[in-house]
């Protein structure tokens, strides 16, 4: 187990306002390059919860306020907490879940 895993389980999460915006302002400010997507396949971006260092730099950079600390994700956006993680394990599954959560 890594020190980081022992230290914290909290991460930052991208939620539905990112869908179809994808301007990548968050990518520009992330110091550990842990925000990713596939340009032709994804409607939003995803934060890698295992790489995120919880610095918070991305949150104010987002023009549509799509990024929250995991503990602050609004009730209506809770589905996006697992979606960010799932994308790093099964991208197609995450895309299906985005469509379901987005309605």
Q: Which neighbouring-strand residues pair with 13?
A: 68
Q: Which neighbouring-strand residues pair with 69?
A: 12
Q: How far is the CB of 91 from ligand SF4 (least distance, A)?
A: 17
Instruction: Return the percent helix, strand and coil in the chain, to nearest 5.
Output: 40, 10, 50
Number of Cβ atoms within 10 Å of the Cβ of 77: 18
Q: Mask: binding to ligand SF4, 32-71, rule CB under 6 A, as x and -?
A: x-xx---------x-x----xxxxxxx--xx-x-xx----
73 binding ligand SF4? (CB under 6 A): no
Q: How far is the CB of 75 from ligand SF4 (least distance, A)?
A: 19
Number of Cβ atoms within 10 Å of the Cβ of 7: 10
Using CB under 6 A as the criterion, which residues of the chain lie in contact with ligand SF4 when the complex forms?
Answer: 12, 14, 18, 21-26, 29-30, 32, 34-35, 45, 47, 52-58, 61-62, 64, 66-67
């Amino acid at each position: 187990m890594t020190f980081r895993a022992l230290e914290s389980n909290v991460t930052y999460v991208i939620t539905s306002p990112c869908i179809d915006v994808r301007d990548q302002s968050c990518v520009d400010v992330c110091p550990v390059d842990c925000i990713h997507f596939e340009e032709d396949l994804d409607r939003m971006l995803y934060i890698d919860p295992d790489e995120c260092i919880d610095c918070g730099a991305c949150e104010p950079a987002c023009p549509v306020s799509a990024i929250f600390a995991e503990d602050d994700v609004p009730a209506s956006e809770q589905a996006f907490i697992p979606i960010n993680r799932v994308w790093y394990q099964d991208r197609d599954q995450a895309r299906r879940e985005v469509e379901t959560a987005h309605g």
